Amino acid sequence: MDSQVGYLLNFLSYLAVTIPILGVGIFVFTFTTPYKEFELIKNGSQTDDPKKMAAAKAAAHDLGGKIIGLAIVLGSAVYHSVNLLDLLLWGIVGVVFQVLVFYLFEWLTPFKVVSEIPNGNVSVGIFASRLSIAAGLLLAALISY
C-alpha cells in the first residue's frame, strides 16, 4: 500500500510540472506568432465567411501540431528524466526548439507561414502541424540519447 501512495505522489508531482510546461508552451506558441490562433479558431465557428472558416482550420492544425509535438517531447522528458528539475529543463528545451523549428520553417519556405495561415491556407496549416509533430518526435529521441 505504501508503495502505491509513493507512485501516486510521484505521478502527481510529475504532472504538476508537466501540465504547466505544456501551458507555458501553448502561451509561447501563441505569443510568438503575429496571428492570434485562438481568435482565428473562434471566429471561424461564428461565421459563414469561407475565408474565416479556412483560417480557423489552418490555425487549428498549426497550433494542434505544436501542442502534439510538445506533448511528445514532454512525454519523453518524463520518461527519461531523473528528477523534476531534469524534466523542467528538458521541457523548456522542448518549447524553445519547437518555436525555433517554426521560424526555421518560416525562413526556408518560399511563402510566409505567418501570412498564409490567417489568410486561410489550410495546406500550410496542415504542413506546419506535421512539421511540429516530426520535430517533437526527433526532439524526444534526442532526449533519450
Q: Which residues contact 55 (CB under 8 A, 6 or more apart)?
A: 40, 43, 44, 117, 118, 119, 120
The pLDDT tens digits for 95-107 are 999 989 888 988 9
The pLDDT tens digits for 59-91 are 999 999 999 999 999 999 999 999 999 999 999
Supply the pTM of this predicted model.
0.90
At residue 118, the pLDDT reads 94
Cα gap 69→132, rounded to integer Å: 5
